[in-house]
Amino acid sequence: MLRLEFMEIPRFILFGPKAMSHVPRICRNLTKSRKIFVLTGGEKTTRIANERILPYLLEEGYEVNTYALGEGGVSFEKITNVYRMFKTRRSSLILAVGGGKVIDAAKVLSALTNTNYVSVPTSAANDGIASPAISYLLKLEIHNKLRRRKIRIHAPVAIIADTEVISMAPKKTLASGCGDLIAKFVAVKDWELAHKLRGENYSEYAASMALMSAELVVRRAKFIKEGLEESARIVVKALIGSGVAMSIAGSSRPASGSEHLFSHALDLLSKKYGFKPAPHGLQCGVGAIMMMWLHGGDWEMIRDTLREVGAATNAYELGIDPKYIVEALTIAHKIRPERYTILGEVGLTREAAERMAKETGVI
């Protein structure tokens, strides 16, 4: 018997130069209310919103409430503060203007208030700009805080990606986005493995879309350079495709496999030992090199593509001590035990992890 499938994908996707100036038009298509809530991060994203979005909304007669999360990471405490303000100034639509942390905060706020949100990324660092998922550490924190209460994270109702703005973001954000995309080669292999060995549901369509996003980066790698609007366009288009693949699959499976478990493990170790983790996509890229080696696939192609786009390929370039790379490899299989990957149920021994990292030049 065929199973029932539910897909939640964005209604509108607009990307290109000056896309932010079209925010009012998208808002009109999404809500009849004139109350809009704009969520930003630090000084830079707040300035972008103030200069490139608010004037157009105010000109159209919208009542705009704004909230800046501030610099640094996003936490459940910060989101709770936003939630309190949001309840007093109820709006019909949330605009998340910023990077992955701002968009993650908007996703949680959206779930808590049952309000649609629009993703307005200012960088292309990962596929969170289009996906129904949040960062692992934030998800873990929310689970620990809420305990019995579960919240469902939704995909954005619309995506407005201004490639002019995104092209001006720091170089490492674009490289990070490429790393997150290259990781899809491993994620799909892990998904296929789980389907064959565990009978896990598998969507060929979602897998193909994720692979297509990764292949776009490989084909256009030499054209992806800092400060070029066309580069931002390539990466944004691929990231949106990856996010939609997750929506079609109904999970992050087509975009997140053993390489993401490795990245999550590094994030956990950074909390334990106090070192600074690298951007998510850069960690996933390095993880993809090693996990593709485990799969017996073309790990050198992944390494070479990452080099071409200026992404990290080893511990030194990540800025992380090799000992933490090895430890992360040994605990990665424990991060999401229900998600079967090439790491299996028992994971890697320290010796096996060290050998793999050395064979691939990661340490």
Sequence-distant contacts of 348-355: CB under 8 A, at least 24 apart: 350/326, 353/326, 353/329, 354/326
Q: What's the CATH number where 310 sits? A: 1.20.1090.10
Amino acid 153: pLDDT: 94
81 — pLDDT class (breaks 50, 70, 90): very high
pLDDT exceeds 80 at position 149:
no
Final residue before a domain boundary, out of 169, 203, 220: 169
Instruction: Tell me if 212 is assigned to some domain.
Output: yes
Is residue 103 domain-shared with residue 207, that is, in the same domain? no
Residue 345 has phi, psi (to 5 degrees) of -90, -30
Range of the domain at 213: 174-359
Asked whether residue 31 falls in the same domain as residue 164, the answer is: yes
pLDDT score for 72: 86
CATH number for the domain spanning 81: value is 3.40.50.1970
- 1 occurs within a structural domain: no
Assess if residue 264 is contained within a domain.
yes
pLDDT of 147? 76
CA distances from 10 to 53, 128, 155, 245 (A): 20, 13, 7, 12
Average pLDDT, the chain: 96
Residue 236 and residue 112 share a domain: no
Domain contains 7: no
Boundary of a domain, candidates 169, 199, 215: 169
Nearest partner of 21 among 59, 64, 52, judged by Cα: 52
**Does 136 map to a domain?**
yes
pLDDT tens string 273-303:
999 999 999 999 999 999 999 999 999 999 9
Do 157 and 218 reside in the same domain of the chain? Answer: no
Whether 120 and 218 share a structural domain? no
Read off the pLDDT of each residue in 154-174 and give the average, rounded to a whole number.
95
* Residues 307 and 178 reside in one and the same domain: yes
Contacts of 106 (CB under 8 A, 6+ apart): 39, 94, 96, 117, 119
For residue 2, being part of any structural domain is answered with no
How far out from the chain centre does Cα 160 lie?
Answer: 16
Q: Are residue 110 and residue 259 in the same domain, yes or no?
A: no
Q: Longest Cα pair distance anywhere in the chain, in angstroms?
A: 64
Domains contained in the chain, number: 2
Same-domain status, 254 and 120: no
Within this chain, do residues 133 and 180 fall inside the same structural domain, yes or no? no
State whether 163 and 42 are in the same domain: yes
pLDDT of residue 148: 64
Please say if the pLDDT value at position 227 is more than 70.
yes
Last residue of a domain, one of 115, 140, 169: 169
Do residues 139 and 223 both lie within one domain? no
Do 151 and 99 fall within a single domain? Answer: yes
Is 260 a domain residue?
yes
pLDDT of 349 strictly over 70? yes
